[in-house]
Structure 1
């Protein structure tokens, strides 16, 4: 786009963008205009359709959308915990986790319905969630096309993030959204994203995130989280904190044991056991990490170092 650097040409092409070809323009100027219009399409975040980039969305606004949506197809797929016999009920009373309180069942159903809700290109809120995740992780002020290799750079398997959400649905994206918008967890999210880009210890960030959401969903369905949900009188907040705690645990194991993609199955299996058997311990570890309010201490020179992936000053507003 060398022609755009010539005096006066850039301004002329911006004002004339989207208009019919001007016969008075030189071939070089026409080519420059076409390149500029193509750049505008990329920046729009809509993959070549007209319109501005979707505005960022907060976690609370996105959650309100799902709370107000009926999600009939998704709710119909929700599998509630199965009924137990008398012996199982007796054992539960003696040593098992408590049942989720009735007043929290609606929130549990909402979480599981979101996990059954597919990413929908026609849902404006879905697109805003996707774009906000992209902008927060890359620190970009611009949007991005709906499909493209840029999603692989974030750790999806292909050009369409929607194909990686089977089993977690929109809850998989909602948990990433929480992770990158909450001011407490954003530094941790970016730290883990940096680790995922490491030359030898890299891993697909978003695919790993989806796997963690899947583990959290299983823990909820198996009523491993009922005690904590009852104590805090909420479900989705517990799910999000457990997700962040599990990601923290995974990143520490990955760093300490010099994990690679080949080790992912082993680490996820260990994480699944920890999440289901010791959720309270994981949550305490996250609480301790966040209460320090500090980044992890610098590693000795003999160990791994990571550099910042973006200017920390360029970020969206996150939920507190």
Structure 2
């Protein structure tokens, strides 16, 4: 059970072994406190301190590799969404480097992948996200009204994930993995009395905005420069989330009744300034 107390190091351990055990204890404590990383989870798994199955934490890298390597998607016909920008804007937008076409197709594939409760990795992404945000330690089912704690509207996450599929859930996992303190802070803000908002529903909306940016070729230049579309879509998602929280909490703070207007304003910022916003975030890092 991943919530069980860490057993003490046996007294007969050699000094080096005891030191390793103490380090592992500290690492797993960090995971339970919400500081998630590849090393923490791998060490915890080695010590047998996490559950198997859907309750077992999954890292972003593990989840990405599941979809990119283990799932058969290459060579499949994946229809590219239709762009709604004008002809002149299309002509002005740079072409995407051919070496990045596969990454773009992979993103569209993820968007079309519904959450499937029979796929362990899908459920592990959900439980990792839920436990990280809420601090829940007990085993949790994937469906039920408890999932509304992180902002789901329905009692089954796959209902709300229909618009952006597993792409949106993978982006949320990326967020808590790469920016755990910020993601946790935004969750605390989302459940506060003064700035309440549905964390995961907003997150899904931000993933949809990223997909629109991709569809409209607004990410091509940045992806060509960085040599990665995967990196760019995730950074775009993070800065859109950050911009939203800034807008939402800036006095006078907004209420859920102002969501539609806020979303339109946010989308305008993303369309016009996504490159600038990402660059500013990178400079602060």
TM norm structure 2:
0.76
Partner residue in 1 for 2:10: none
- Give the one of 64, 69, 72 matched to 1:70: 72
How far is the alpha carbon of 1:282 from its aligned partner? 1.4
State whether residues 115 and 172 of structure 1, in contact with CA within 8 Å, keep that contact through their aligned partners in structure 2. yes
1:112 matched to 2:108? The reply is yes
What 5-or-longer segments of structure 2 have no aligned partner?
1-51
Q: Which has the higher helix share?
A: 2
Which is further off, 63-72 or 101-110? Answer: 63-72
| Structure 2 counterparts to residues 1-320 of structure 1, below 5 A | 54-68=55-69, 69-71=71-73, 76-79=77-80, 88=87, 96-182=92-178, 185-256=179-250, 257-289=252-284, 291=285
Instruction: Tell me the SS of whatever aligns to 1:278.
Output: helix
How far apart are residue 199 of structure 1 and its match? 1.1
**Count of aligned pairs between the two proteins:** 233
Say whether the 8 Å CA contact 1:248–1:286 is kept in structure 2.
no
Q: Offset of 1:159 from its aligned partner?
A: 1.2
Let me know the Cα RMSD of the aligned residues. Answer: 2.5
Structure whose alpha-carbon radius of gyration is higher: 1
Distance 1:202 1:258, change over 3 A: same
Is contact 1:135–1:143 with CA below 8 Å preserved after alignment? no
Q: Note the C-alpha offset of 1:54.
A: 2.7
Shift of 1:55: 1.2
Q: Which runs of 5+ in 1 are unaligned?
A: 1-50, 292-320
Q: Deviations over 1:284-312 (max 9, x none)?
A: 232244x2xxxxxxxxxxxxxxxxxxxxx
Question: Where in structure 1 do 4 or more consecutive aligned residues deviate above 6 Å?
Answer: none
| TM-score, normalised with respect to structure 1 | 0.68
